[in-house]
Structures are given as structure tokens and as C-alpha cells.
Amino acid sequence: MEHVSFNMNWLESEIYIAASATLYFGLLTLMTVRVVLKRKPIGVSLAWLFLMFAVPLAGMIGYFIFGELNLGAKRSKQRKLHSNTFLTWIQEQAVACKQSKELISENAHAMQSFVESYTNMPMVKGNQHTLLTTTDDILLELTKEIKNAKKHCYLMFYICNQGGLVDQLLTELKLAASRGVDCRLLLDSVGSHDFFKSKLPVQLRKSGVKVVEALPVGAFRLLFQRQDLRLHRKLVCIDDHFAYTGSMNLVDPAYFNVDKGVGEWVDLMVRCEGPIVQHMQGLFLWDWSLETEEDLCLPQANKTLFCIAGDENSQLIPSGPEFGKVGIHQVLLTAIYEAKYSLVLTTPYFVPDESLLTALQVAAMRGVDVKIILPAKNDSVMVKYASRAFFEDLLKANVEIHQFYGGLLHSKSIVIDEKIALIGTVNLDLRSFWLNFEMTMLIDNPRFAGELLTAQMHYTLASNQLTLEKWQKRPFFKRLLEGFLYLFSPLL
């Protein structure tokens, strides 16, 4: 009996091994076929396949959770329900102050046409843009405008962190709601995790502020929607007169991430007045409707609302999974290729794909003065080293790389030929291009572009410029780490 039992155990063990191997290789084959059939960018597909074969279980689970775009049933339903309404509104309302082609700068023609073709958002005239370059000034101005609000205060941010001047702003928001102003606060679930765990949401709601958690995460939700699609937009609309966007979250840098060792975050915002405010307000209400399932009530223009405020052209560029696959990535490529003699970029997270890297190299090689300004210290170690894997190729093409030592440079801006400005929430990485819900302003005005360029040049004063000779002398282990993390750059 013992002999039979031994044989049975041995046989059962063989069957178990064979079944496990069949299941393992079957799952791996199915996941490989799925990745191939999805036809993602080649670098992204290869990175996922590398991860699946290197660490199969973790790779397959990771792909299941993060590998494919899935907005979730609620957002997908709302998008289908209201997309025609939103499109009709753009075509009928948002064109009231559309700028004619001949009055748009030649440098901006290609970008303007592309944006209008995939979002239907036109470039509009009659705007006034004011650049705000210090975080204290930004928070104090927002607080003042909320205090004076008569109709509504709409705020949308990735991060809300209490402390310092933010507390004062939130107090004014509660007071505004208590006097009948329609106050809405839309915050990303992941970015504002600590905020939603605090007592502040309850206090704000008791005062009449409508607080909504965008794209909530959770273990159960893994089955129904992708968890790393984030609402990364920063937008404030006060009544029908002012709107703000840029790189700054609802945080006071003196109280935010002070233990990270990277210094205070340095940001830019732009205050917008004129017809462009209608578009920005419409984008907020679109996002609000997607998240809350409320009816989409878009702002209608008349003689007293969204009227002419200046002589500047601007175009709102919303981007994200709901606006198609190409979006802001193509806009940035177009901006680089349109540059004739100068191109200055600032970003905290720089992990370009091959097409963006090549565009920057080609621009520098054809004589464009290309400057990239990045923070010397980064709050993401993986991004820090993955980013540095691109430096040598850029330096060899005569691209200037400036490392900013005045804090974590968080502003996201581009100035083309000192005439055209792009400012908003988009980082130069694949997450911003393909996954996040983002927004950018294309401003066609030499005066504003000059102001933004001046701010960028001030960043260089607190920066060290890298040289190819010095960069090539970095230690071998850093080169190895950069090369390893470069393999995962499409997934960062």
C-alpha cells in the first residue's frame, strides 16, 4: 500500500506540475496576444511584455490593473450621454469670438488647426492673460476673488492640502457658499487622499460647498475601471469673469511635502479674462457632469457675459482619455517642429518617448536654441533617473539642460520663438500624454510669451547648466540605474 501511495503522490505531483505549467504558459500567451492586438505605442507594448516575462505574476496583474484604458461604467455612460451636447455647445456657443485664420500668428497655425480638428475648440480673440509667478500671490488673489464672488466659484485640482494660505482660501469658500454662491470643489481621489481622510470635506459640505471626489479608487473598483487614470487639471472659474489655470495645486508650498527634501514647489498660473473663460467654465462643468451624473448645463454667451477683455488670442486644449489618443502629445510635437529660432521648456517630470526626444534633437541640430529647465531634485526617484537616461543624447545634439536648485520646479510651460506660449498642467511624460485628464492654454501673443520667457529665464539664474563633458563622467552605477529605469520609462 505504501508503494502504491508513493506512486500516487508522484503521479499527482506530475499532474500538478503539468497543469500549473499549462495554466502559466497559457495565461502568459493570452496576455501577450492581448498586448499585441491592442497596438499600443511600441515602447509601451515592449515594456509591458518585458515586465510580464521578467516577473510574470506581477506583470500580468499589473497589466490587468493599469495596462488598458477603462474609464469605468459611470463615466463612460455620462460621456456617451452628453458628448453630443458638449459638441453642439462648442459649435454653436464657443465660436462667438472665434479668431479668423489671417489674424493668428503663423507659428500658431498648425497647432491651432490641429487642436480645433480633434477637440473642436476654436482659438478665440479678445482675451487678457496675466501671469502669476509666486504661490503666495496666486493663493491670495484666488482668496480675494472668492470673497468677492457673487454667482459661482468652481475649483478643480489634483491635490488639495490644508495648511497656510490654503486654510484661508477654504474659509472664504465656506463663507461664499453660506451667502448663496454656488461653490463646487472637484478633487482627484489619489492626489487629495489626505484631504478626503480629514474632517475638511464634512465641514465644507455643512457650509454648502459641493465637494466631489473624482475618479475614486479602491480594491473593488479594480474590476471595473483603471485605477491610475487621474484628474490632473487645475482650474478655477469665478463668476463669469475670471478663470485660472496652470501648474499649481491647491497647496501652500511652505506646508506641503516639507519632509521630501526637494524644497518648496515652484509654480505658475495664468489669470484669464474674456471669451476664453466660457470655454474654461464649460470644461469644468463637463468634468463635473462626468463625475456626478448631473445634467450638463453649459454656460451660454450673451452681451454681458464673457465679453471682450483685451486683444490676445488663446485656445483651450483639453486632453485625456475622453478626448482621443493623439491630443496633447501631437500638439507638443507640432510646437517643437514649428520653432524657428528658440524653444524653452520647463517641466518637473521629463520622460519623453522616442518621437518627442527626436523632435528636440532635430530642432537643436537645425539651429533652434533649445533650453530644457528641470528641477535638480525630484520627488520621484524613478522619474529622476529615467529622465537622466535621455540627457546624453540631448546634450550631444546641443540641447541646453538647466537643473534648477531653487526648489522643485513644478511649472509646465513652453515658449516658441518668443511669440507663442503653452502653459498648463501637462508634464513631458507619457502619463500626461496618454492617461491623465489635463488642460493646456495656447496663447498667441508676443507680450504674454515675453512675460513667460522672462519667468523662465529667472529659473535659469537659479540653475546649473549641464555640460556633455561633465555629464559623461558620472559614476557607472548611476549609468546602470538610468539604463535600467529607461526600460520602464513608457510605463512611468
Catalytic residue among 82, 125, 239, 252: 239
Give me the half-sphere count of Cα atoms (radius 13 Å) on the Cβ side of residue 397: 23
- Find out whether 191 and 213 touch, Cβ atoms under 8 Å: no
Torsion, CA 7, CA 8, CA 10, CA 16, rounded to 10:
160
Active site annotation includes 239: yes
458 included as an active-site residue: no
| Residues 81 and 88 sit within 8 Å (Cβ to Cβ) | no
CA dihedral of residues 404, 406, 408, 409 (deg, nearest 10): -60
Conformational region of residue 398, where left means phi above 0, alpha means psi within -120 to 50, and beta covers everything else: left
What is the C-alpha R_g of the chain? 25
Which residues 6+ apart lie within 8 Å of 483 measured at CB?
Answer: 389
Torsion of CA 265, 266, 270, 271, to 10 degrees: 70
Catalytic residue among 129, 402, 412, 419: 412
Angle between helices 354-365 and 327-338 (to 10 degrees): 10
Residue 234 is a catalytic residue: yes
The answer to whether the CB of 289 falls within 8 A of the CB of 82 is: yes
Catalytic residue among 240, 417, 429, 444: 417
Question: Does the annotation mark 444 as catalytic?
Answer: no
Residue by residue, DSSP assigns 339-407 as -SSEEEEE-S-EE--HHHHHHHHHHHHTT-EEEEEEESS-S-HHHHHHHHTTHHHHHHTT-EEEEE-SS
Can you tell me the distance from the alpha carbon of 241 to that of 272, in angstroms, rounded to the nearest whole number? 8
Nearest partner of 406 among 344, 453, 471, 458, judged by Cα: 458
Residues near 243 by beta carbon (within 8 Å), at least 6 away in sequence: 235, 236, 237, 271, 272, 276, 277, 280, 281
| Residue 417 appears among annotated catalytic residues | yes
Q: Residue 27: enclosing H or E segment and its boundaries?
A: helix 2-38
Is 379 one of the catalytic residues?
no
The one catalytic residue in 125, 129, 174, 234 is 234
328 sits in which H/E element = helix 327-338
- 102 vs 99, 106, 109, 333, 418, CA distance in Å? 8, 9, 9, 23, 20
- Give the cell for residue 318: 483639453
Which among 232, 241, 329, 371 is annotated as catalytic? Answer: 232
Q: Of 174, 329, 410, 419, which is the active-site residue?
A: 410
Query: Grid coordinates in use for 271?
Result: 489669470
Catalytic residues: 232, 234, 239, 410, 412, 417
